[in-house]
Structure 1
Amino acid sequence: MVEVAKTLPRVTEEQKRLVALSGNEAQAEAMRQINPDVVAAYPITPQTEIVMQFAQFVADGKVDTEYVPVESEHSAMSACIGAAAAGARAMTATSSQGLALMWELLYIASGLRLPIVMAVVARSLSANLNIHCDHSDVMGARDSGWIQIFAEDPQEAYDSLIQAVVIAERARLPVMVITDGFIISHAVHPVTVYPDEAVQEFIGEYEPEVSLLKVQTPVTMGPVDLPDYYMEHKRQQTEAMKQAKQIILQVGEEFANFFGTKVYGFMELESMDDAEVAVISLGSSCGTVREVVRELRAQGLKVGAVKLRVFRPFPRDELVRVLAGVQAIGVLDRADSFSTMGGPLFTEVKAALYDVLVTQRHTTATQFIPLGGPKVVNYIYGLGGRDLTNEHVEEVFRELLDIAAGKPVEETWLYLGVRA
């Protein structure tokens, strides 16, 4: 990782404002301060407020953004791709079926290496129709070549959207900043807002490396890419995603130094130094898990939590180091993969830990003997907006403690809060 010099924050506490904002309002405010060249969007619950408020900023002359009210989310991403290809800063926002309607364009945006930034308010996918939160929409897009950053609360949504602009432009990859529908999007929290000029200074002027409008250096975008070169171009995307890890960390440190915030990285840890068991989670549920960890720690139980902030690129090596010494791990998934192998986060964690915990040797053609390592159990929760309670999380921790004490793992793929 590139070392970033530690300096006094450029933005003082006196320059900041503490404002009561919902997650949607916080992201709209960040977009106003970013003042992108183009925003193309279509309303969808529970994201609508973001683009509705931003459209009001445009109408009031608070930004000079070209706002394009399109007829669908497919058109929204198409317009953003065209704008970004021309060298503009382009942003949008969506949820659920809107993200699904963008599907084919997501791959085009990443394949063309366009630094589009999108606020995604996570919501379940139909059928049946449900407008509440789970992660089925964003997890369906996890392999579309976009960087994916999860925010736990409105402050993180605001901070992450500002950082996403810089990350996208340095990595030349599109970025999703993901918040949980209604739980974060419509919940009001105190949010520290920075001065407009400071946000503009941090993101800087955008100088696109490639633009269709730079006629002195003409380029072709989106040509037919036959077997001669297609594979090399996909490999370049993978290398860009690998390099994005360093960029994410560097931008997080720069942001902390500039605005005087915490350092944003791949994850945040709670009581992991001596934890015997741990729970890994994404998004708003991390606050519930953290509260339960503190309650159980007060009872003398060695439990810990890993809040994963960056899902793409997946921080494999960093996660493995954090989990060293843990005897049992619970992975909370707010989506199911329908693979009958567990949820998306669970399968990623198991793959990351394979060399650590499932290194095995053959004894016969049909038998394997495990050589040790922590047990990993998946808990699917919160589908369609169902609440995750403190009692649910405590149940997970106590089961993990029993497993660490020697209880056999009967099932590695479970559901929390499902009626029998």
Structure 2
Amino acid sequence: MIKQTEGSQAVAEAVALCRPEVICAYPISPQTHIVEGLGALVKAGDLAPCEFLNVESEFAAMSVAIGSSAAGARTYTATASQGLLFMVEAVYNASGLGLPIVMTVANRAIGAPINILNHHSDSMSQRDCGWIQLFAESNQEALDLHIQAFKLAEEMSMPVMVCMDGFILTHAYEQVDMPDQAQVDAFLPPYEPRQVLDPAEPVSIGAMVGPEAFMEVRYLAHAKQTMALDRIPEIAAEFKEAFGRDAGGLVRGYRIEDAETIVVALGSVVGTLEETIDTMRAEGVKIGVLSIRCFRPFPMAAVRAALARTARVVVLEKSFAVGLGGIVSTDVRLAMVRIHVRGYTVVAGLGGRPITQDSLLRVLRLAVADELKNLTFLDLDWDIVNRHLAREAATRRSGPIAENLLRDIGSGARPTTAGKAQP
């Protein structure tokens, strides 16, 4: 059914169609509308049987999810930003125990300073925690990925994060095609756990493991992620056959067949990039976009195949490793070993800063001309940065960075030459 709805509500309805038996969550923007929507469905009796648990923290939310999943219940939760960090110990436990929990991460910046807007630093911080990570480009894909996520998680007995850009998607009203219950039931079989806590057949889950077996346990976690690289595109193909839409999978290329420059990105910025690429194509520039839909496990072979015939790669990412540079770029470069292409990293959109077509056109034209620096921060205000560096060079008690920058912006102050950073 075609309907105009908020991204969070679309996800809530899609999750409800998957018939979760336990939902536990602690509200934190920008995921709150998702669990509010699910709570309303449970209260109204439209989602039953299902127990909705209000918990006292994000750590408690994941702890409840672990318990309910181990007891054999289809389980769902959602979080963002500091909420994800607060539950990290339990996040690792969920994957280490092989529990098929599905969780929405409404991507939001991690403080300090406090920022509630979009940024990929939260899910990127957990890229090595053992969860599968799927990234949505649109609200339709976010809806579709949740349905696929339950099937993937339960077949592989592994937890899955579905990452969608906070506010950009979660709070945007778009047209989506919502399936009906019969369609989802036909696609997603009832949950049959590989392991379950059952008083009739007592077992231990989460036993102490020493050096005699710990490495093997961890390797099996890696092996299962590798196996998921095969199953993820198969499930996407099954979804397309059942619902008539292309969603999910490992990667998706746009105008890359003859591209001499390929931009690699994740999430909602892909749509803006595609429009930008269309403009450059009209100018005669051979350029395309590769969307990474599955970040963990990283689709090394698929990325390598997509980039094998291009001359240069620009990785656009909404997070970065402080003191190093790009996060996604590092994985992309591993995929390009022995492929001789020029590579650039562009960090953009941090803390919700708009990524405009004008800015993308400017930086991509530099890349096509091979005049772009290896690491570029899109639309960074070098005047404000240099002013603060000069302040720190001039006095020991220079004050808090964030408040100083806000004061400088408000006063319209311009930099001195001392301590000037190179753009």
When normalised by structure 2's length, the TM-score is 0.88
Structure 2 match to 1:107 = 92
1:278 equivalenced with 2:240 (yes/no): no
1:123 equivalent to 2:85? Answer no
- Which residues of 2 match residues 357-376 of structure 1 at below 5 A? 373-376=340-343
Residues 1:85 and 2:70 are matched in the alignment: yes
Partner Cα distance (1:131, 1:323) in 2: 34
Q: Is contact 1:256–1:264 with CA below 8 Å preserved after alignment?
A: no
Write the distance in 2 (CA, Å) between the matches of 1:305 and 1:107.
33
Tell me by how many angstroms 1:396 deviates.
2.5
Equivalent residue for 2:408?
Answer: none
* Corresponding residue to 1:377 among 338, 344, 361: 344
**1:62-98 CA distance string (max 9 Å, x none):** 0121111000000000000000111110000011010
* Equivalent residue number for residue 239 of structure 2: 255
- Displacement of 1:263 in angstroms is 5.3
**Does 1:149 pair with 2:134?**
yes
How many angstroms apart in 1 are the aligned matches of 2:303 and 2:19?
35
* SS state at 2:2 partner: strand
Cα offset, 1:318, TM superposition: 0.9
Q: 1:59 matched to which residue of 2?
A: 43
Report the secondary structure of 1:92's partner residue: strand
**Letter of the aligned partner of 1:395 in structure 2?**
R
Match of 2:307, as an amino acid? L
Aligned partner (choices 189, 211, 222) of residue 238 of structure 1: 222
Write the letter of the residue equivalent to 1:71.
Answer: E
Runs of 4+ in 1 over 6 A off after TM superposition: none
What does the per-residue CA deviation read over 1:296-330, in whole Å, with 9 as the maximum and x for residues that have no partner? Answer: 11111111110111100101111111111211111
Match of 2:325 in 1: 342
Aligned to 1:419: 381
* Cα contact 2:102–2:161 (8 A) shared by 1: yes
Provide the C-alpha distance between the structure 2 equivalents of 1:256 and 1:249, rounded to a whole number of angstroms. Answer: 10
For the structure 1 residues 159 and 263, does the alpha-carbon distance in structure 2 shift closer, same or farther, using more than 3 Å as the test? closer
* Contact map agreement 1:23 1:179 (CA 8 A) in 2: no
2:369 aligns to what SS in structure 1?
helix
Give the whole-Å Cα distance in 2 for the aligned partners of 1:170 and 1:384: 36
Q: Partner of 1:69 in structure 2?
A: 54
CA contact (8 A) 2:141 2:248 kept: no
| Structure 1 Cα separation of the partners of residues 346 and 211 of structure 2 | 42
Report if the CA contact (8 A) 1:331-1:345 is conserved. yes
Equivalent residue letter for 2:332: V
1:303, 1:397 within 8 Å by CA — same for their partners in 2? no
Partner of 1:391: 358
Map 1:162-177; keep pairs closer than 5 Å.
Answer: 162-177=147-162
Residues 170 and 247, structure 1, Cα contact 8 Å, conserved in 2? no
Counterpart contact for 1:330–1:396, Cα < 8 Å: no
Higher relative contact order (CA 8 A, sep 6+): 1
Per the alignment, in what secondary structure is the counterpart of residue 255 of structure 1?
helix
Tell me which amino acid in the other structure corresponds to 2:317.
Answer: D
Q: Deviations over 1:142-169 (max 9, x none)?
A: 1100000000111000000000000001
Residue identity in the other structure for 1:391: D
Do 2:107 and 2:119's aligned partners in 1 also have CA atoms closer than 8 Å? yes
CA distance in 1, matches of 2:229, 2:6: 29
> Is the counterpart of residue 269 in structure 1 residue 253 in structure 2?
yes
Letter of the 2:289 partner, please give it.
Answer: A
Match of 1:204 among 165, 169, 189: 189
Which letter maps to 1:69?
N
1:316 aligns with 2:261: no
In the TM superposition, what is the alpha-carbon distance from 1:133 to its structure 2 partner?
0.3
What is the CA deviation profile of residues 355-388 of structure 1, one whole-angstrom value per residue up to 9, with x for unaligned ones?
Answer: 32xxxxxxxxxxxxxxxx1111111111100000
The DSSP-based 3-state class of the residue aligned with 1:36 is coil
The one-letter code of the counterpart of 2:376 is: L
Contact 2:157 2:193 survives alignment (8 Å): no
Q: Which amino acid aligns with 2:377?
A: Y
Question: 1:125 touches 1:136 (CA, 8 Å); kept in 2?
Answer: yes
Work out which of the residue numbers 299, 323, 326 in structure 1 matches 2:310.
326
Separation in 2, partners of 1:391, 1:155:
26
Greater CA drift, 24-33 or 159-168? 24-33
Give unpaired runs (5+ residues) of structure 2: 383-423
CA deviation profile, 1:201-236 (whole Å, cap 9, x unmatched): 2111111121011633x3211111111111110000
Deviations 1:310-355 (A, max 9, x none): 10010111111111121111101101111x3212101111122123
Could you report, residue by residue, the CA deviation over 1:9-68 in whole angstroms, capped at 9, with x for unpaired residues?
A: xxxxxxxx1011221111101111112010110100111000011100011000121111
Residues 221 and 272 from structure 1, CA distance in 2 versus in 1: closer, same or farther, beyond 3 angstroms? Answer: same
In structure 1, what is the Cα distance between the partners aligned to 2:246 and 2:335? 27
- Please tell me the residue identity of whatever aligns with 2:80: S
Aligned partners of 1:231 and 1:324: how far apart in 2? 34
- Using a 3 Å threshold, how does the CA distance of structure 1 residues 86 and 416 change in structure 2: closer, same or farther? same
Count of residue pairs the alignment pairs up? 381
Match of 2:415 in 1: none
Q: Which residue of 2 aligns with 1:361?
A: none
Separation in 1 of the partners of 2:362 and 2:292? 21
Mapped to 2, the partners of 1:215 and 1:242 lie a distance apart of 34
Out of 275, 291, 298, the position equivalent to 1:307 is: 291
Q: Does 1:139 align with 2:139?
A: no
Among candidates 350, 360, 367, match of residue 400 of structure 1? 367
TM-score by length of 1: 0.89
Q: Evaluate the alpha carbon distance shift between residue 165 and residue 214 of structure 1 in structure 2; reply closer, same or farther with a 3 A threshold.
A: farther
